[in-house]
Amino acid sequence: MSIQAPIFTPELLQYLRNISTPEPPILARIREETAQHRLGKMAIAPEQAALLTWLARAINTQNYLEIGTFTGYSSTAMALTLPENAHLTCCDINVTFTDKARQYWQEAGVAHKIELHLQPALITLDELIAQGKTQYFDLAFIDADKPPTPHYYERCLKLVRSGGIIAIDNLLLGGRIINEPNDNSPISHTILREFNAQLPYDKRITPLTLPLGDGLTLLLKN
């Protein structure tokens, strides 16, 4: 039976959260404290973190790559889920945001699993490729500035193993993605429309975009 998904009111969303794995207290605190920040909405939603960590476990993730770490919500969620010998490689350019992330990683007791690269992500990704880390990562999560998304994707395709996953947040641009860009549209609008449009024809991956948060795109590497 195929029925229309219900409208996710705040109450229904809360119900959904109540019947899923509970959000660990440290994550609830990161989310609440980050929400006070002017840019607090940049952190992923709890159900996005729950899905990403669920998938990470399902594919036995040992090496995780994150492009866009902010105050550490998604990376802490991942580090708490992954086994003791797992390794997280995180990329960001902002010292203030990531100082907060470092503080949460310490508090959560997961700092030893995480390596932070503080420079433009494209530089880090090229360095990882130059170090021979192709096919090294099980899961990559792209959640940074939007215009370089196609470049992040091409690098991640090299860095992620076959059978691994590349997840990308916000490819729906708050729903604006279905509108033609106009003179006032940011450059990311055109770039992401072209990027999304080619996904079904890209034989290197199996694409699926879910209506979670602002759209969570999951690309299974063939």
Residue 66 vs 138, nearer CB to ligand SAM: 66
144 binds ligand SAM (CB under 6 A): yes
Residue 91 near ligand SAM by CB under 6 A: yes
> In whole angstroms, how close is the CB of 169 to ligand SAM at the nearest point?
7
Site string for ligand SAM, 1-40 (x = CB under 6 A): ----------------------------------------
166 binds ligand SAM (CB under 6 A): no
* DSSP assignment letter at 5: P
- Touching ligand SAM, residues 172-201 (CB under 6 A): none
Q: Are 134 and 180 in contact (CB under 8 A)?
A: no
212 binds ligand SAM (CB under 6 A): no
Contact with ligand SAM (CB under 6 A) among 53, 74, 81, 89 = 74
- Is the C-alpha dihedral spanning 72, 78, 83, 89 positive or negative? negative
**Is residue 93 at the binding interface for ligand SAM, with CB under 6 A as the rule?**
yes
Count of residues near ligand SAM by CB under 6 A: 19
Please check whether residue 117 is in contact with residue 144, taking contact to mean a CB–CB distance below 8 angstroms.
Answer: no
DSSP sequence for 70-88: TTSHHHHHHHHHS-TT-EE
Q: How is the beta sheet containing 114-118 ordered, strand by strand?
A: 114-118, 87-92, 63-67, 137-142, 160-169, 216-221, 205-210
171 close to 196: Cβ distance less than 8 angstroms: yes
Give the binding site for ligand SAM (CB under 6 A).
Answer: 42-44, 68-71, 73-74, 91-94, 97, 120-121, 143-145
